[in-house]
Structure 1
Amino acid sequence: MLSNRMIPIKMLVLLGMALAFTLPLTTSCSEDDSNPIINTSMFDVSGVLNAQSEVPPVISVATGSLSGTYDGDINLLTYSITWSNLTGAASAMHFHGPAAPGVSASPTLTIQGFPAAAAGSYSSQATLTEDQERQLLDGNWYLNIHTPTNPNGEIRGQVQTNLK
């Protein structure tokens, strides 16, 4: 008699173990597997720099670009900047904000360690504050590269962010 009662209990234990292994697998799947999970905290960062975007515009054939990513989970901005044809060596680089296109603002993030050259590239990363993150994601930052000939900035580009 005792062994007859043990069979259903053993079956329940085995069934419970089987469920323990399958539940984590089934709960991680969405109801509609055609819709992948989207990370809402990763952003592509980009910008096109030119002299006409300076305020006021300056005369220069220099151009530049910004590319990178922003991870909102850890507030990490990772970026690469390239520039060419400056009137002289780059003397300063900053992210400025908050500012819409055509509006000037104070530097909010100073870039250090870049090569002082009329053409070059530089990559780095920075941890942003909550205010800086809000400004960046709202489109209210611009990147500015300064030279001795144009100490207020030779090329400027508004920073764009797009959800990955």
Structure 2
Amino acid sequence: MKPSAVLSALVAFLVAGSASAAVTNWGGALNGANEVPANASTFKGNAVCTYDDVVRQLTCTITHDVPAPTSGHFHTAAKGVVGNVIYTFPTLVSPIVASTSLSPAQDTLLKANGLYVNIHTAANPGGEIRAQLEPIVVTDAGVTDGSTTTDATTSSSSSSSSSSSSSSSSSSSSGSGNTSTSSSTSGGTSGKTDDGGCNTSSDSSPWGFGALAVGVAVVLGALRKRRAA
């Protein structure tokens, strides 16, 4: 293989390895009207989540005012449909922090708005309040999912589960002197948003640009020695 071909192959490998993970935001408002069948519950809540689609890790902060919950879960099903439990919350005390890895099939369901969160009670064992997980926009002012807005405290609680995401937003805000905002993509089902706010973040892999520079330097040094000989 020619030296130039070796160099090109190495550069291509290192650049490909420097691809970053996309962290997106999901969530929704929990209420009795979202349950199947709907109920007249006066209790409410909010789910604010981050999702790393490289390792397929879903992490949610769920706040609620249910006084005596009996269980809480992530389920697979579209809006208006009852689905299977894929994860049981480790605690029911608000705020609940729940994190689980999704299978490839569950990843596909999430991106099609096919996962939901709900909390059960003795009065409503099938589900007291429910929220379908959909793409949301996170700003310094709060969290908006199209049907509800929560305060910045809830937003910060969720964002802490993805430090790279919140750090990216904070740096952008302090540098420009303006509050960063972001919007959902036109499709609305992938969960991906632009990089103007804290909806995306980059987690560089070990094969970053530093490794690229070192690799190129090694190859160039070897080529010089070969020519000198």
Q: What's the offset of the Cα at 1:40?
A: 6.9
What's 1:121 paired with? 95
Q: Aligned runs of 1:1-164 on 2, under 5 Å?
A: 41-84=22-65, 86=66, 88-97=67-76, 99-115=77-93, 120-161=94-135, 162-163=191-192, 164=200
State the superposition RMSD in angstroms.
2.3
Following superposition, which runs of at least 4 residues in structure 1 exceed 3 angstroms of deviation? none
One-letter amino acid of the counterpart of residue 133, structure 1: D
Aligned residues: 124
Once residues 88 and 105 of structure 2 are traced to their aligned partners in structure 1, the CA distance between those partners, rounded to angstroms, is 16
Please list the CA deviations of residues 12-68 of structure 1 after superposition, one character each: whole Å capped at 9, or x if unmatched.
Answer: xxxxxxxxxxxx9xxx8xxxxxxxxx9673210111110011111112111111102
Identity across aligned pairs (percent)? Answer: 32
Report SS of the residue matched to 2:42: coil
Q: What's the offset of the Cα at 1:126?
A: 1.3
Report SS of the residue matched to 1:56: coil
Please list the CA deviations of residues 70-107 of structure 1 after superposition, one character each: whole Å capped at 9, or x if unmatched.
Answer: 001111111100001x3x4111111111x221111111
Q: Which runs of 5+ in 2 are unaligned?
A: 1-10, 136-190, 193-199, 201-229
Report SS of the residue matched to 2:78: coil
Higher helix share: 2
Q: Which runs of 5+ in 1 are unaligned?
A: 1-23, 29-37
**8 Å contact from structure 2 (residues 90, 98) kept in 1:** no
Higher strand share: 1
TM-score (norm 2): 0.50
